[in-house]
Amino acid sequence: MAHSREKGFQTALEKACQDLRKLEPYKTAYMAGCNFHAEDEGGQFLVRFFGEEYTVTFPDISVRNASGEEADITTRLIILHYLIHADGTFPADRWITFRELPDGLIYDQAFQKRANLRLLQAYGSDPKGFAAAAKALGGERLSFGDAAYMFRLLPRIRMAVILHLGDEELAPAVNVLFDAAAGHYLPIEDLAVLGGMLASKLIKAGSF
């Protein structure tokens, strides 16, 4: 099973590299809200992801972090898919749930387990811990719920996490939201993965 999954990732990565090579790099960078620096026989995109700058070489595609290390395959796929799918739409400044994204309803149950429920278990009664973890990830405070933070995960993809502590009538809840333009930059499968990555990083940040 693990071998099959790894093979699937590798196939997806090879296709993403092929798709990116077909694009005009300056236009792609403009659409994605990032920079492209030309070199003798190609160049490189500079893309910020989770607050860290990654270099995507072109046309010989590689994705490396600021230390020059190759990114893990999930990060590589998300960054490449972001560059490929970006259509230049500006953030909508309007928050929507995962199920409101194009095709989101199909994957919503899995997304709830991957993101919302894990964060609820970790921070449902710990707003101070949630706030500390969010700030550690560069979260920006929002005025929703009992605690809420926005995260700029990619140049034009913003996500928010809102904590409701609940009361006598309502149970505690954590909602992971997306800027309404997110579907212009990544397919729904990648947005689901992105929500899971944010949840994992917030939980890890709170364990220190």
Q: Does the pLDDT of residue 150 top 90, yes or no? A: yes
| Contact of 85 with 77, CB cutoff 8 Å | no
Q: What is the mean pLDDT of residues 127-144?
A: 96
- Bridge partners of 208? none
Query: DSSP string of 145-157?
Result: SSEEEEEEEETTE
Kindly report, residue by residue over 183-198, the tens digit of the pLDDT. 999 999 999 999 999 9
pLDDT tier for residue 156 given thresholds of 50, 70 and 90:
very high
Q: Does the pLDDT of residue 66 top 90, yes or no? A: yes
Average pLDDT, the chain: 94
Q: What is the pLDDT of residue 122?
A: 96
Using CA atoms in the order 19, 76, 80, 78, what is the torsion angle rounded to 10 degrees?
120
Q: What percent of the chain clears pLDDT 70, i.e. is strictly above it?
A: 97
Instruction: Answer yes or no: CATH 3.30.310 is held by domain 95-205.
Output: yes
Q: Strand 173-179 vs strand 63-64: parallel, antiparallel, or unpaired?
A: unpaired
Helix axes 104-111, 188-205, angle to 10 degrees: 20
Helix axes 73-85, 2-21, angle to 10 degrees: 30
| Domains of the chain by residue range | 2-85, 95-205
Q: What is the pLDDT of residue 207?
A: 72
Task: State the Cα–Cα distance between residues 12 and 7, nearest whole angstrom.
Answer: 9
Kindly report, residue by residue over 6-65, the tens digit of the pLDDT. 777 889 999 999 999 999 999 999 999 999 999 878 899 999 999 999 999 999 999 999
Q: What is the pLDDT of residue 14?
A: 95
Helix axes 73-85, 188-205, angle to 10 degrees: 130
Q: What is the pLDDT of residue 169?
A: 84
- Measuring CA to CA, which residue among 94, 82, 83, 78 is closest to residue 59? 83
Q: What is the pLDDT of residue 7?
A: 76
Q: What is the mean pLDDT of residues 85-97?
A: 96
Q: What is the pLDDT of residue 208?
A: 60
Q: What is the pLDDT of residue 146?
A: 94
